[in-house]
Amino acid sequence: MTVPPVKGFSKLSKEDKIDWLASHYFSNPDEGISLLKKYWNHDAKLQQLHDEFIENTITNFYVPLGVAPNFLINGQNYTIPMAIEESSVVAAASKAAKFWMERGGFKTEVLGTEKIGQVHFIYQGHKKRLQKFFTAIKPKLFSAASHITKNMEKRGGGITGIELIDKTGELPGYFQLHSTFETLDAMGANFINSCLEQFAATFKEEAVGWDGFDDAEKDIEIVMSILSNYVPNCVVRASVSCPVKDLDEDRELTPGSFAEKFVRAVDIARVEPHRAVTHNKGIMNGIDAVVLATGNDFRAVEAGIHAYASKNGKYTSLTKAWIEEDTFHFSIEIPLALGTVGGLTSLHPLVRLSLEILDNPSAKDLMQIAAVAGLAQNFAAIRSLITTGIQKGHMKMHLMNILNQLEATEEEKNYMASYFKNKTVTHSDVIKVYEAHKRKQP
């Protein structure tokens, strides 16, 4: 079926948008409309708030919000909120948290909080003239943005540097104003972008009146002004360690064998990109869930972290594991540009509640909490991989999803959960046992 283009869709009411979708796409329009409306919030004011987060809203798309307790971080106990749809993630994080709470907990340190933004421009003249111009007008770039930075500076943040970067070796005529920022508890995207656009306007305006340029050189082309989500100097480290002999919870391996096999598994992710991608995806299960629950931009976090994993020219593991003097060490070092003020952090009621669960953390605190969630998730995944295998625990958690797809009754769910209590769950086995059980029912 070919659907004709629609004009003025954004101007339609929500109900009219849904009617249009139903009439053109839904196999059962009444049923589809009813489903969309079931997910509306009964509180009209709260629903309007959600409607206004994005454009062309038709309903809400729910993701479960869970909590993982017993995270001991730098001596303080945390219960971490996690918004995610994937089975076993919250359970795995909770299990890892309990394991390490009994072995001293997690240690964390923020190594830097520098954010980055760039004005990308084209200049076809003499490089020495451009450098002289930049040096002369650099103070004006700061002063021209003072109306934007005033409040941030009062709190101790602001613009921390502006450099002229020559990229002509990679693209003819391409230069940058590479700028660094401190945005404190704000993620700072709007602040940074506003500063960059002011830099660009001032830079271009000053070039027109600069006597050191000829007429052609004065015509600087501003291509774009935008923050970067790659923040290699906004970095946090999280780690755990304990005597090898204390790794004694696994019945299949001795503590020493467990530690050695664990280190080898991380080393494989360090040297093999195919494994590293899945290894790091598991880390992001924990980090993204915290980032989403606290109203931060998980797409930006993902992009920056994966770029960091490739910073030496090859995609590699974000975590490290090693044994030193009979002590097992496991750590992660990642860039995390997060905020606890502004944006959804002050608008979304569940985000505010999540931050309250975390004792209203600063941005630095949240960086450390998120990094710990990623490290815990990675520990849980590797522990499963080198012992029972990933499917036993994961599919047991996934069992309920399969049964819900089969529209199983409560009695059937209880029977299936009991049946698979000590068995490995596979999709085909669940179907087979479920159908056999149903045939036995009167």
| H helix or E strand, kind and range, residue 149 | helix 146-154
Contact predicate 257/46, CB 8 Å: no
Q: Determine how many CB atoms are found less than 10 A away from the CB of residue 294.
A: 29
For residue 62, the SS3 value is coil
Q: Are 275 and 141 in contact (CB under 8 A)?
A: no
Cα separation of 420 and 426, whole Å? 10
Q: Yes or no: say if 338 and 296 are a contact pair by the CB < 8 Å rule.
A: yes
* Closest listed residue to residue 176, CA positions, set 165, 168, 187, 186: 165
Contact 157, 91 (CB under 8 A): no
Catalytic residues: 86, 281, 297, 394
Q: List for the chain the helix, strand, coil content (%; round to 5).
A: 50, 20, 30
- Separation of alpha carbons 319 and 297, rounded Å: 22
The dihedral region occupied by 188, where left means phi > 0, alpha psi between -120 and 50, and beta the remainder, is: left
Would you say 365 and 286 are in contact if contact means Cβ atoms under 8 Å apart?
no
Question: Cβ contacts of residue 297 below 8 Å, gap of 6+?
Answer: 187, 189, 291
Instruction: Answer whether 223's CB lies under 8 Å from 104's CB.
Output: no
Please list the residues that pair with 240 across neighbouring strands. 330
The residue behind tokens 């069992």 is 399
Q: Tell me if 263 sits within 8 A of 323, measured CB to CB.
A: yes
Q: Taking the CB of residue 110, how many other CB atoms lie within 10 A of it?
A: 17
Centroid of chain to Cα 327:
31
Which residues have CB under 8 Å from 306's CB, separation 6+? 280, 315
Q: Are 40 and 47 in contact (CB under 8 A)?
A: yes
Coil, helix or strand at residue 142? helix
